[in-house]
Amino acid sequence: MIKNIYRKNKEVIDYLFWGVLTTVLNYILLLILYKAPITGQQINNSGFWLNFYNTLVGIICTIFAFVTNRKFVFHSKSTGLKNYLTELGIFFPGRLGSIFMEDVIMSIGHVYFGISVMIMKIIGEVFVIVFNYVWSKFAVFRKR
């Protein structure tokens, strides 16, 4: 029964598994920067530093997500450098868009409403996860 459920929903379950790992990596890296900022600046109420750190972490996690999504979720059969770079060239702008979306959500919630950075991160991630799945499935790793 569980095997049948997995087989029937394999792609979504795999996406969620690797997405959870990407999200955990994202949180750990942001917490490290949040607790010990590189610049000596505190995130506190600064939208700039919050967005800077979140974007930096997002780019690192995007690389991890591309590799795992390509290999373990969508099982891309594309070969050759040109096809790899094409997928990366479609994947990366979508992820940059989701990072920007998360930056806006986090800034509005934290800077303007005083909600905790990590609470706003969770709220932003809900939107990001849905957007990233749709983008990856229908724009990046679709059957060509």
Predicted TM-score (pTM) of this structure: 0.82
In the chain, domain spans: 2-140
Are 140 and 87 in contact, with CB atoms under 8 Å apart?
yes
pLDDT digits (tens, 9 = 90+) for 19-73: 999 999 998 998 888 776 555 555 555 677 778 888 999 999 999 999 999 999 9
How much is the pLDDT for 118? 84
Residue 8, φ and ψ in degrees, nearest 5: -70, -30
Find the range with the poorest average confidence among 39-43, 73-77, 80-84.
39-43
